Amino acid sequence: ADKMMGSAILWWSSLSVRLVSVCLLSASVGKPCQIRNEMADCSHLKLTQIPSDLPNNITGLDISHNQLRQLGPANLTMYSQLVYLNAGYNSISKLQPELCQNVPLLQILKLEHNELYKLPDRVFASCTKLTELNLGYNRIDIKDDPFKTLENLNILDLSHNFLKSANLGSQQQLENLRELVLDSNQITELKKEDFSFLSNTSLNSLDLSSNPLKEFHTGCLHAIGNLFGLILNDVELDENRTKKLCTELSNTAIQNLSLSHVKLSYLGKSTFQGLQGTNLTVLNLSQNSLSVIEDDSFQWLSSLQYLNLKHNNIHVSSRLFYGLSSLKHLNLISSLNGKIEDFSFQWLYQLEYLIMDNNNFPGITANMFTGLNNLKYLSLCNCNINLQRITNKTFSSLANSSLQVLNLTKTRISTLESGAFSSLGHLKILDLGLNDINQELTGHEFKGLDNILDIYLSYNKNLTLRSESFIFVPSLRKLMLRKVGCSNLALSPSPFHPLQNLTVLDISNNNIANIKEDLFDGLHKLDILNLQHNNLARLWKHANPGGPVLFLKDLPNLHILNLKSNGLDEIPVQVFKGLFQLKNLDLGSNNLNLLPATLFDDQASLNSLNLQKNLITAVEEKVFGPAFKNLRILEMDSNPFDCTCESIAWFADWLNGTQTYVPGMTSQYVCNTPPKYHGSLVVHFDSSACKDSAPFKLLFVISTTIVTLVIFTVLTIHFEGWRIAFYWNISVNRLLGFKELDRQQEEFDYDAYVIHAKQDRNWVSNNFISLEKDNHFQIRFCLEERDFEAGISEFEATVNSIKMSRKIIFVVTEHLLQDPWCKNFKVYHALQQAIEQSRDSIILIFLHDIQDYKLYHALHLRRGMFRSRCILNWPAQKERVSAFHQQLVMALKSNSK
């Protein structure tokens, strides 16, 4: 039973392995190799063998990061043109002797990160054209001169192979080798005969880093024909071993020596004495925790040009650099401890680059940099050196130098005094960014910088500009003022006017909200303008007092314009006029929706346009057609597109046919409206249906025109109808006269009897008496105060006056509605007479806005009882009084029957 169970388990295990193999094979089949420019990339496909279906003419094959266990020559037969073969990161354990027979042209072979442990005899016999061979990260045991046939090999990498000796052969070989990498092995000593196989070789670089080297035998490095470079990083060398190494390098061709991280904490006067007769030009002593360097320790290195002392703990004495008369480049990043003595650099006559970043020392003394007459580049970035205030004496020790670049980034500067850089007349680039400068720039701070080209002032606390801030630097070409708090640039004249040579200007991230139209006037050479992250929205609004501020009008050579994140929701149609050279325009992250039709007419040369994260719903040809002509990059995603024929049809067709690079076109360009397209991609919008609507365009235009005319007419009549009627009545009356239809006009003494409350007496007198005096109208009113007959009662006088008047005028006010005499008698009698005589003789004049229900409740009258021409409203506007008088006369002269 146990046997049967064991057999079953074995069978299931075998089946599982086969199924996994099939799955892996299927996975690799599902992902074909990428072929480009005769190079086949078959990496990361879980392959177990070299594919046989690749083009025969490929010259490069990458099968790294797979599951190959062998590199069979038969599998390479059909790829005889191979020059490059990368089989790294596999599980290859053995190489066949015929490896290169089928690929005779092979020049580069990479076999790193495999499981090679042995190189068969004559394995590279046919690889005569090989120039680079990488066997790193294997377990190879070198025997029997495996590389002796590689006459053209330039680079050999045997790193991370557990080698215990640097001896790779017993015969002279590898005459053309230039780089030998033996780092991270287990080599403990270098014997005299170890490199005898390189006796006829000129080696540019020998890398023995990260080996447990303990001893250098006499003559071990002299066995190499010519050794130009030696790398011994991460090898434990104390001062004695370093001295021994330098002795072994004496009288060699050594030029480059790297001793980084070798635990070398002390240098004596004689440590480098063995290098005196060499032509050493590069020395790397970084990351050694060097704390003691005796004076004159470098006196033996008169040919040294590059010295790297980065990440040490050095005290700079006055004779530390004595003897380095040829030094051109000195790296002192994070390496200084304590005060730098005066005249310490005076020995460095030829020094051009001095990098002192990330250091702490008390300050810059009067003679710290004296003697550096050829210095071109000085960097004090992120130094804690009490440099809060820069005076005209701070850099006076560089007065005789030819310094061109000064980097003072992150040095905690707070104030620049007048003439702070006056001793640096040759300076071209000044970097003062990321400091704490908080002051008004008067212009005198930069006095003396006659050759300055670039000034970086970005990311300071608060800089207030004046019109004279840059008056002494007319040569300036690049000015960086990002995030410096200069929010108000509405200065006259502009602080940038003296900078006629300026090509780059960055005033972004300043919350600028107020500038004048002439801010950039005269900057005809400006190429890049950064205005992003400000608050310029108001300046381009049509409602802005004085109209939109067109501050871009005088920049004919502008190529790059950044207006991102300014809150813009309007763009004047003429704002980009004249910017014919514009190549890159960024309007992203604003609130733009509808853009004017001819906005981009002058931007036919535009290469890059960013309108992402706005509120754009329509992309029409009349707006974007000119800008899209030569576009290479379009970023317009994250907008609420309206996917209708009118808004998006042209854009959808353009996206589907363009060669322009549109990031996120198949994921970020999504329809927002109408609901049926919500969430779908713009590129999937079917524009074919839009072409069927062409016959209806004429109908749409006609109907739109008619509706517009009707609306216009209604609005005109509503707002200006009174004026039209006024002039029409005047014209008719002057041409034809008043047409009176009453045949018994002679029976009436008055044209109208006026009923009004006592409180409205003044209004009646002012308006009706003046109308009587106008001879053109020939109107006479019956007014109680003036025309009632003396000696008779008011009751009788009222009745008689109504009978003698052709019309009766009610002056309707709140007072009239509350007057009992008017309500109970005058109005009642007037109505009674009008009814008895069947005459349409009543005219209502409303001085107040009286609701109909109030009118009926008080006087038993409704507006509907009278003709519209007999209902008049006293106008609130003075200019309408004449029209009111004309309407009143027309009502008085009208037929009463």
The per-residue pLDDT for range 657-705, each reduced to its tens digit, is 999 999 999 999 999 999 999 999 999 998 887 865 555 666 777 888 8
Q: Are residues 773 and 851 in the same domain?
A: yes
Q: Pick the closest to residue 358 from 382, 390, 378 (CA basis).
A: 382
Question: Which pLDDT does position 808 carry in this prediction?
Answer: 86
pLDDT tens per residue, range 852-873: 888 787 777 787 777 777 888 8
Residues 798/826, Cβ–Cβ less than 8 Å? yes
Q: Given this model, what pLDDT does residue 838 score?
A: 55
Cα separation, 353 vs 426, in Å, equals 15
Q: What is the pLDDT of residue 640?
A: 96
> Which residues touch 53 (CB under 8 Å, ≥6 apart)?
none
Question: Average of pLDDT values for 272-292?
Answer: 93
Which tens digit of pLDDT belongs to each residue from 451-502?
A: 999 999 999 999 999 999 999 999 999 999 999 999 889 999 999 999 999 9
Q: What is the reported pTM? A: 0.72
Contact 346, 368 (CB under 8 A): no
Domain shared by 396 and 334, yes or no: no
Q: Is residue 431 part of a domain?
A: yes
Boundary of a domain, candidates 470, 485, 502: 502
d(CA 594, CA 340): 64
Which residue in this structure is represented by tokens 């007092």? 545
Question: Does 422 lie in the same domain as 304?
Answer: no
In angstroms, rounded to a whole number, what is the distance separating the alpha carbons of residues 380 and 357? 5
pLDDT bin (cut points 50, 70, 90) of residue 760 is: confident
- Which residue, of 351, 383, 415, is where some domain finishes? 383
Cα 223 to Cα 143, 192, 218, 248, 868, distances in angstroms: 20, 7, 10, 11, 125
CB atoms within 10 A of CB 215: 11
CATH number for 781: 3.40.50.10140
Confidence (pLDDT) at 26? 39
Q: Print burial letters for 24-58: b (CB count within 10 Å at least 16), e (below 16).
A: eeeebeeeebeeeeeebbbbebebbbbbeebeeeb
- The DSSP result for 763-816, as a single string, is HHIIIIIHHHH-TTT---EE-HHHHSPTTS-HHHHHHHHHHTEEEEEEEE-HHH
Band (pLDDT 50/70/90 cuts) for residue 20 is very low
pLDDT given for residue 698 in this prediction: 67
Asked if residue 374 and residue 393 are part of one domain, the reply reads no
Q: Which residues contact 842 (CB under 8 A, 6 or more apart)?
A: 807, 808, 809, 810, 830, 831, 834, 866, 870
Residue linked to tokens 């519209």 = 868
The answer to whether residues 489 and 364 belong to one domain is no
CB 176 within 8 A of CB 128: no
What is the average pLDDT score of the chain? 88
Using only C-alpha atoms, the chain has a radius of gyration, in whole angstroms, of 49
Specify whether 856 is located in the same domain as 808.
Answer: yes
Cα(816)–Cα(757) distance, integer angstroms: 5
CB atoms within 10 A of CB 412: 16
Question: Could you tell me the CATH number of the domain that includes residue 310?
Answer: 3.80.10.10
pLDDT band at 768 (very low <50, low <70, confident <90, very high): confident
Give Cβ neighbours of residue 182 (< 8 Å, ≥ 6 apart): 158, 159, 163, 166, 206, 207, 208, 211
| pLDDT at 253 exceeding the cut of 90 | yes
How long, in residues, is the chain? 897
Check residues 386 and 839 and name the one with the higher pLDDT.
Answer: 386
**Tokens read off for 270:** 């004689």
Residue 411 covered by a domain:
yes
What pLDDT score was predicted for residue 446? 96
pLDDT category of residue 723 using cuts at 50, 70 and 90: low
Instruction: Name the β-bridge partners of 809.
Output: 754, 843
Give the max Cα distance, the chain: 158
User: How far apart are the C-alpha atoms of 453 and 593, rounded to whole Å?
Assistant: 40
- The residue range of the domain holding 352 is 228-383
Check pLDDT > 50 for residue 601. yes
User: How far is the C-alpha of 461 from the C-alpha of 548, rounded, in Å?
Assistant: 31
Residue 495 lies in a domain: yes
Strand pairing partners for 226? 202
Same domain, 278 and 376: yes
pLDDT tens for 283-312 read 999 999 899 999 999 999 999 999 999 999
CA distance 432 to 684: 51
46: left (phi over 0), alpha (psi -120 to 50) or beta: left
Which of 330-344, 680-694, 732-746, 836-850 ranks highest by mean pLDDT? 330-344
Q: Are residues 785 and 887 in the same domain?
A: yes
User: Do residues 378 and 407 share a domain?
Assistant: no
Q: What are the structure tokens assigned to 455, written together?
A: 């000034």
Task: Tell me: do 372 and 437 sit in the same domain.
Answer: no
Number of domains in the chain: 3
For residues 279 and 331, state if they share a domain. yes
Among the three residues 502, 529, 555, which one is the final residue of a domain in this structure? Answer: 502
Structural domain contains residue 704: no
Angstrom distance (rounded) from CA 432 to CA 422? 15
Residue 849 has pLDDT above 60, yes or no: yes
